[in-house]
Chains A and B, each alone.
Chain A
Amino acid sequence: DTAVSQTPKYLVTQMGNDKSIKCEQNLGHDTMYWYKQDSKKFLKIMFSYNNKELIINETVPNRFSPKSPDKAHLNLHINSLELGDSAVYFCASSRLSDGTQYFGPGTRLLVL
């Protein structure tokens, strides 16, 4: 009964490719997020969606485009991948009224 799931768990790809990461939550939460954790383990917010609408975009390059087809899903599409995109990407969700966040297991992206 995974609360927040992400696919794939690992993603190895070449520079310049386009890739997507999928996220689903079965907690009934209103808000979903994407975070990036770099090699120094620093966890940084990228996007936040509430009821399928974008509410936070933290100066992320245009190559990153989140899409929320419904409240339970938030996917991340990355165009023209660069070496610096290599990181672990975490999806998370929360109830709007409560700051507690539930994280997925992460997607480890390696760009060669």
Chain B
Amino acid sequence: SQKIEQNSEALNIQEGKTATLTCNYTNYSPAYLQWYRQDPGRGPVFLLLIRENEKEKRKERLKVTFDTTLKQSLFHITASQPADSATYLCALNSNSGYALNFGKGTSLLVTP
């Protein structure tokens, strides 16, 4: 069966450090992979999309890598800030269309 796995435990890091979150998947051949941010009581917000033929994508302090051989994506936040504290969700397009299948998310806490 298809699975998307993210670090289930919360990630606590100090302000200024780089946070690295992992997303592994099985039984998918995704055309693209996306990362979303979700704050408590709010809907997910799109951050980055990376396509199967792209190895890396950057946006300001965010960097995503996509290794279709390893079936893994890494999401990096450099120079992390307390405002980066949130849950980060990895998502793949479902086989049935443009709907997304989400991982359970990784909770990130950045402390001053």
Question: CB distance B99 to A45 under 8 Å?
Answer: yes
Binding stretch for chain A, among B19-27, B55-63, B90-98: B90-98
The distance from the CB of B11 to the nearest CB of chain A, in whole angstroms, is 15
Interface on chain A toward B: helix, strand, loop, or mixed SS? strand
Is B34 in contact with chain A by the CB < 8 A criterion? yes
Number of B residues with CB within 8 Å of any CB on chain A: 23
* C-alpha spacing A90/B45, complex, angstroms: 12
Chain A residues in 8 Å Cβ range of B43: 4, 90, 92, 103-106
* C-alpha spacing A11/B96, complex, angstroms: 31
Closest B residue to A44 using CB positions: B102
Which A residues fall within an 8 A CB radius of B? 4, 31, 33, 40-45, 48, 50, 55-56, 58, 90, 92, 94, 96, 99-106
